[in-house]
A and B are shown apart, each in its own frame.
Chain A
Amino acid sequence: MPNVIGNPDKGVFTPGRLPQISEPVMRLNPASDPRKMRRIIAEDPEWSLAIIPLLRDLCLQHIVKNFENNPILNELLPSHKAKVLEKLSTKLPLKVTANLISHEGYWNRCCTERWGVCDVACYGNSWKRMFFERHLEKIIELFIPDVTDIKTVLDVVPLCKNYVKKLNISQLLPPVKEPQMNEDDNASDTASDLGHEGPSIDHFDFWTLLDKLTHLEELHLVYGVSGCGMNFEWNLFEFTYRDCQSLAKALKSCKTLKVFRIHQSKVDDEKVRLLINSLLDHPFLTVLDLSHNLIGDRGARAIGKLINERKMKSITVYDNKIRAHGAQAIAYALTKNTTLTSLNLRLNQIGDEGGQAIAHALLKNATLTNIHMGSNELTEPTATVLSQVLVQNKTLRNINLSCNRLGLDGGKQIQEGMSYNTTVVEFDVRLTEIGQESEYSISQILQNNQEKARKKLITESGVKK
């Protein structure tokens, strides 16, 4: 259907705006409009009978072509602006477009062109934000220390610092080894040397970056290489002390950080203590995730300290090497704590001692709502203490004890405890061998609690109305 510019009543169809109700019909079946039947229906929406385009169109085309040199956008009328944005090339340098264009449609096109399918919901439904975050992530991920110029990163920063809220970096490349220096290798495969002459940094140094990103709220890091294929070497996965120091400095400088996550990086006790030292005075940090590392008891003590000094909301130490002492340290911190809502201790080896310590702490703690203690080699004594907790605690909503050999007696204890409890809504006891009876009764009680919770919600929402 020829898109006549001079007819605003028809409703101009631009990719960015939502179509009006009659539009789809007309677009799908142009012949349905009786006035348009027996007319030429062209496939190109730009085509018009007019051979000579209007001056408006010419101007706009010129603007589009030279946008790089002369970015004129805000001075245009809204309809013209929309047209220009529709036509703008996505390959324009970011320098020009970053701070100028905030129209989501343009950024949508950019993202889809560069990455194909994207899920914008992860990025707060903002295509611009998605683009910049992914762009910056890519740069950081492909950064090879000593090879890539740091300027490439720094140039991008002023462009994107207003839009980057979350950085999810899934690999950090180590410096490349120079071949002539590795002639005198001894027969061991664990080349823990990162260059004999020592590069200046081991991995990308965040220190230079983080303080410039003023809106950054979440940072996820992995000190490893993904997709290395046949070039696998152990030294690609090292998180060295120097790295740790620079990261600690960087964290101190980034004042807006709320969520910090470093996983699969072989972070052990020393390093985690260093990191936590730098995090102790952080103003906004609420969520800390240290999964898939090698944190032991000393690290756990540091975490306990952190829990209380800062107002942490959620701690995840999934898949580490925390043992009973570490768990006891965390439990001690829990007793004094009033802010932590979620604690994930999955896949550690805290054992019964640790489990019991944490359960005792839960008797006193009144803010924790989610606790995950799966796969911790817990057995019956923990279940006993936990059943007491269930009777007394009124805030726990979500408990996960899967993959612990609680046994039939443990199951019975928990069943008893649950019969007094009214707030737990989810209780995961898969692979605990507690017996079908206990599971069934617990599920009954959970259903009751869920009903109560729902009713409460409904009454609250009714009251609100």
Chain B
Amino acid sequence: MPKKGGKKSAKLSNMTEEERLLFMQQKALAEEELSKKKEDILTQFLKDKLAKEEKSSVLNLNKINQQWRVLMRETKGRELKKDIEVLSQTFERVVDRKDSVIKSLAWDLEEAEAQYSQALRAHLHNLDVLLQLQRGRLESLEQNYQAELEALRGEFHTERELILSQHQQECTHLEDVSFAMEQNYSEQENDVKQDFHSVRDEIRNKNIEEKHALRIQLEGTVEELWRHFQQALRSYNEATEERKSAFEALRGRDEKSAKEIEMQMKKIQKLQDSITLVRSRLASNARESEKQNRRLQEEKEAIQGHFHTIKTQMNRARACERGQLAKLTLHSNAAIKKLQQLIEKGDYVLRLTEMCRKLETEEEKVLPFYSSSLSAEEQSQEQAAAMEPPTEQLAQAMQDYTALERFWQRYNKALLEQLALEREKAVLAQENAQLRQLLKQYLDGISVSDDTLGQLNPLFIVNQRTNARLPAVPLSEGRVARHAHTVIEAAHIVQHTI
């Protein structure tokens, strides 16, 4: 910018150095700003241009694609058409071939059908011929059979007739013979009958005559016997007249006595009945009294048993009560002793507190229980842990002592303070020792003595190291003290472990 340079140089001469400086600075600044603006504008412009270019390029690309596509489509279309034509031709050819195949197959089928029907007809014809032959044969066989049957039948008939005629003949023959025999027999029969009749008559006559003779004889004997009998009867009757009258009298007395006997018998019967009745009543009464006696005995025994059991129960109860009473007294004594021990403990504790009180700080006197030093999280954790049921025995035992939380707080605080103080003390002691050392060193350095001159100068520091002989620090010092690990052979411990 020569012009601006020129202006600048003109203006420069008018101002003082400072003003020139300022002005130059301003100018530079302004120039810078301008240039910056220009640059910005340029970049913006360029960016716009770029964007436009991009857009237009995209658009052009699309246009070009489209044009390309149109062209390609046309060519593709042409190709496809050609393909289609070719394919259609091939399809037509294939279709024609298939048609011809189908036709030929159909024709083959027809021909096969015709052949089959031809063969079938010939076959059926032959079958019919064979069937006819067979039927003819069967008929001839049947005729033969019929003929033979007829022949047999004829033979049978002739035989039958022959037999029948023979039978007839023999029947007639037999009839004649039987007729002749009958006649013979009848003649004989007549003769015999006549003989028989004559003999019978003779015998009858003889019998009648004999009968007559016998009758006469028997009548005579019968009359004699009758006379004898009558005589005997009369004599007997006379003998027995007297006995008859005696018999009558006795009979009358017998009747009377019989009646008396009857009456007596009746009386006896009645008395016997009454006796039996009374006896039976006696027996039943005896039984009843017996039963009652037994019942009373049983009741008595039952009551006795019951009485015994109750007595034993009562005795047992009394013994139990006595035992319990003794236990109770023992326990009460033990409780009294314990309580007394507790009282003593409590007194001891109170004395201890009084003693501690004297040693308390003022702060503790004022605020005996400090608020917890734990953070909120830890507090909540603590509370959660406290709420959990204790699993170990010790924890369970410790539950009884939850009330002593406050006490543990104070105690722990005191313990912690003690430990802190001890630590401080140790630290301070060490510091003290160091300081003494340094002092000694210094004093050694300063002092001039024989033994110190012999040694190296402790105040001389080279490379920030002193060459003073630092005394060996005693091993028992806390900072240096190694943690003493006592190593015990396990074999010694094992003997004492459970």
Contacts and interface: CB of A to CB of B under 8 A. Distances in A.
Interface of A: 121, 189-190, 234, 237, 263-264, 291-292, 318-319, 347
Contacts of B120: 319
Interface stretch (B121-129, B180-188, B274-282): B121-129
A319 B121 contact: yes
Contact of B121 (A121, A234, A292): A292
B121 A189 contact: no
B39 interface: no
Nearest to B108: A189
Nearest to A263: B125
Contacts of B118: 237, 264
Nearest to A237: B118
Contacts of B111: 189-190
B339 interface: no
B114 A319 contact: no
Contacts of A264: 118, 121-122, 125
B136 to A, nearest CB: 8
By DSSP majority rule, is chain A's interface helix, strand, loop, or mixed?
A: loop
Contacts of B125: 263-264, 291-292
Contacts, number: 20
Interface of B: 111, 114, 118, 120-122, 124-125, 136
B140 to A, nearest CB: 9
Given A264-B122, A291-B125, A319-B121, 15 more contacts: A189-B111, A190-B111, A234-B114, A237-B118, A263-B121, A263-B125, A264-B118, A264-B121, A264-B125, A292-B121, A292-B124, A318-B124, A319-B120, A319-B124, A347-B124
Q: Which 7 A-B pairs have the closest CB atoms?
A: A292-B121, A264-B121, A319-B124, A264-B125, A319-B121, A292-B125, A264-B122
Contacts of B136: 121
A459 to B, nearest CB: 16
Contacts of B121: 263-264, 292, 319
Contacts of B114: 234
A190 B114 CA distance: 11
14 contacts: A121-B136, A189-B111, A190-B111, A234-B114, A237-B118, A263-B125, A264-B125, A292-B121, A292-B124, A292-B125, A319-B120, A319-B121, A319-B124, A347-B124
A366 B125 CA distance: 31
A181 B111 CA distance: 25
Q: Indicate the member of B111, B118, B121, B124 with the most A CB atoms within 10 Å.
A: B121
A189 B114 CA distance: 13
A234 B115 CA distance: 9
Contacts of B124: 292, 318-319, 347
A123 to B, nearest CB: 14
Contacts of A347: 124
A190 B113 CA distance: 14
A237 B114 CA distance: 11
Contacts of A190: 111
Contacts of A237: 118
A292 B125 CA distance: 8
B68 to A, nearest CB: 57
Contacts of A319: 120-121, 124
A347 B127 CA distance: 14
A27 B124 CA distance: 48
A110 B309 CA distance: 150
Nearest to B136: A121
